[in-house]
Structure 1
Amino acid sequence: MEIFRALPEELVEEEILTQVPATYLKGLGSTCKRWNRLFTGDRRFARNHTDKAAKQFLGLMLTNGFRICPIIDGDGQFSCLELRTELSIDDPYPKYPGAQFDVGAVFHCDGFLLCTNKDRSRFVVWNPFTGFTRWVQPSCGGTRGSGFALGYYGENKSYKVLSYRHRKNDFEIYEFSSDTWRVVGDDAMPPGWSIGYSAANVSLKGSCYWFASGVDETKTHSFLSLLRFDFSTEKCVPVPLPYECRDVPQAACVSVVKDEKLSVLLQRERTSKTEIWVSNKIDENGTTQVVSWSKVLSLDLSPDLQLCEMASFLLDEEKKVVVIYVSWMDEEDDPDFKSKELIYIVEEDSDVTTLDFGSDDHPGALVGVLNYVPSLAQMEQAGGKRKRADFRV
């Protein structure tokens, strides 16, 4: 601190602090009121920090107990993954005094977590690092057939929430600046396309990506592909996969690699090899499209590993290691059909390490793993409610 006091404030804030990784700024904010306001309320500083600071990539896991837990890599060994302290957020409308918000689904975008409760009747957009929260009531009142995604557009990052119905292709947009919902035009989805119930979505450079099924020009054959929702045009655009998938695969998952690329995991049949592909880099404005794919892993997982359409994964492209989450209904060992949570750590030689996180009888959570990047990102202040929350990692 003494060194910083000897330097001009502009130099410290504009050149030094903007290059410090977000997690290290957490402690600095408590030493100085000016810095605390800078880290938690200055959107211009947040944009500069996003551009200049080194990004930290964390893995998060949503458990069947409706809790978000960081996945920690012990001593740099993937075989030592463990869950640490939960990321918790107080529920402002609890059924019981002091209850925490039960997260039924979670979506990451730009350092924010969009956390939906298990019946999809309300959600919160939360930055665990800064403590920012915005509580929102879905216009439809909530339904298990609904999905939500967070995105943005423009240099100043105008954030929006997309609400969609599986199989029905009904879209609505929530505007943070006005605290209102509005219906998106009928041309948002290409004709003949449909989003499945099991589709897990991800965000990259402000756009949302998820798997959907479509039909060819003759309308006689269906196939699987990615769809990209552009929050500036509010339209879905098909993204071709590395190869044509005319039959529904055993597993098809999408993930994000270091906030720069997309990655897809494709397993055509249970007994076939599993392939993991990575796209070209998407630029900071999100204008670069997916034009090429490179296969980074070809794994022979059978019979060591069984995937399902609800799987999710994280990829370390450099080390050629993939962390895959699956949830199975353990009918043989458990008469109550509890869900069993497993993580498979698969290396390039197809060597599989299985981590069993036990069974849970809490239904309704869309469990899985996801990438998270701590950020100082700020949002518009109009509308909604704001409340501070602790970041406990």
Structure 2
Amino acid sequence: MMISDLPMDMVEEVLCKLPMTSLRRARFTCRRWNNTLSKDWSFTRKYNGEAAKRKESQVVMVLEYKVYLMSVNLHNPSPSIEPIGKLDDAGVDIINVFHCQGLFLCVTKDRTRLVVWNPFSGQTRWVQSRDSYDIRDRYALGYEKKNNYSLKVLRFVDDYDRNLKRRGNTYWFAENKVAPGKIGRVFLLCFNFTTESFGPRLRLPFRGHYGDTLTLSSVREEQLAVLFQECAPPYTLKVWISSKVCPNAVSWNKVVLSVDMRPLIGFQFHCFAGSFFVDEKNNAVVVIDKTRGLPFTIRNMAYVLGENGYFKSVDLGDFAPMKCWPLVCSYVPSLVKF
């Protein structure tokens, strides 16, 4: 029997055990294996589950207008976050990214072009718009389940662009429209790429106020995570993870982290920064922001928060341009071509 004749369930079981670097080489073993690795979304989900068990941790970051695939190691006494890959397509600068199932929609700094990037395969594709782009444009990346998981880009005009993708759908913070000078109730909205419609308002586990920091993230692209930080001292930060989430309903577990940030860093994370990811295996939350201080002394920084008062900071390198806020996205490898 040749290796290409093995039953598909056996092949998937073997491939799921390989580390990502070996999986790339395995694609070229035979055409059948390459088809499984590049076209099968169900295998992608299965592989991501096994990778989580092996405690492999990677994220994607925007730093200094560049997009990096980063390796995260929080096991050591001194945590490390190091680049292992980079989007380097025609040397363009990137201002923002939107992710879905391991694929990233990147917006150029001048907001005139879009490129989709797969960090696992290195594949990129430029997105052509039917009309000219606008600086107020906001985007989301998702897929239609009924049509072989075909990718779609949602484009709309809004003042708020912090969103999160889960299983092909996109979730946004939204706010009740109220009279001028008053503050509306914040909630979640889901856009379903299959039906191309918004769902009902979804409740959040807190009630915020104007100026508070609100950020969404994902856990294995299976659950939502939400970070809330009060704008007044002691700048209390709380993180929740959903127990159930779908386009029409969401429920939340108890607070997984609650920390007063004033004695640790002395400031509130910026509402335009403060992006984060959850490291389940280390029971930690990592928030990305800038340090505070005089110009030319400000740096991009990762703040690691954990149980029993655990706190570490990781310097992410270069001086941070005043208009370039760091951004982090949870990442699970995508083996699917687009």
With the length of structure 1 as denominator, give the TM-score of the two structures.
0.72
Shift, 1:364, TM fit: 5.3
Partner of 1:333: 294
In the alignment, the residues of structure 2 paired with residue 12 and residue 317 of structure 1 have an alpha-carbon distance, to the nearest angstrom, of: 28
| Aligned-residue offset at 1:261 | 1.0
Where does residue 26 of structure 1 map in the other structure?
24
Does residue 71 (structure 1) correspond to residue 71 (structure 2)? The answer is yes
Instruction: Give yes or no for contact 2:4–2:32 (8 Å, CA) kept in 1.
Output: no
Where 1:281 maps in the other structure, the secondary structure is strand
Does residue 1:115 correspond to 2:106, yes or no?
yes
CA deviation profile, 1:267-299 (whole Å, cap 9, x unmatched): 1223142111111134xxx55731334211111
How far the C-alpha of 1:230 sits from its partner, in A, is: 1.6
Q: Look up the match of 1:86.
A: 85
The 8 Å contact of residues 172 and 189 in structure 2, kept in 1 or not, is answered as: yes
Q: What residue number does 1:174 align with?
A: none
Shift of 1:233: 2.8
User: Aligned letter for 2:287?
Assistant: I
Aligned residue type for 1:333:
L
Partner of 2:23, secondary structure, is: helix
Partners of 2:190 and 2:247 within 8 A in 1? no
Larger Rg: 1
**Other-structure match for 1:125:** 116
The structural deviation recorded for 1:34 is 5.1
- 3-state SS of the aligned residue for 1:52? helix
CA gap of 1:139–1:366, structure 2 versus 1, over 3 A, is farther
TM-score, with length taken from structure 2:
0.83
Question: Residue 162 of structure 2: which of 193, 197, 200 is its match?
Answer: 200
Hey, which of these two has a bigger chunk of strand by percent? 2
Q: Answer yes or no: is the 8 Å Cα contact 2:63–2:324 preserved in 1.
A: yes
User: How far 1:151 moved relative to its partner?
Assistant: 0.7
Q: Which residue of 1 aligns with 2:305?
A: 346
Gaps of 5+ in 2: 52-56
Matched, 1:59 2:59: yes
Aligned to 1:385: none
Q: More deviation in 250-259 or 77-86?
A: 77-86
Q: CA–CA distance in 2 between the matches of 1:149 and 1:20?
A: 32
| Superposition deviation, residue 223 in structure 1 | 2.2
1:319 aligns with 2:313: no
Against the structure 1 CA distance between its residues 376 and 220, is the aligned structure 2 distance closer, same or farther, given a 3 Å change threshold?
A: same
Structure 2 counterpart of 1:165: 157
1:323 Cα deviation from its structure 2 partner: 0.5
The CA distance in 1 between the partners of 2:99 and 2:128, in whole Å, is: 19
Which amino acid in structure 1 is aligned with residue 71 of structure 2?
I
Higher relative contact order (CA 8 A, sep 6+): 1
Please tell me whether residue 39 in structure 1 is matched to residue 29 in structure 2: no
2:286–2:302 Cα contact (<8 Å) kept: yes
Q: Give the letter for the 1:298 counterpart.
A: S
After superposition, the C-alpha distances for 1:105-139 in whole angstroms (9 at most, x for unaligned) are 12221121111211221111122223433211334
User: Do the aligned partners of 1:316 and 1:322 also contact (CA within 8 Å) in 2?
Assistant: yes
AA in 2 matched with 1:90: D
4+ runs deviating over 6 angstroms: none
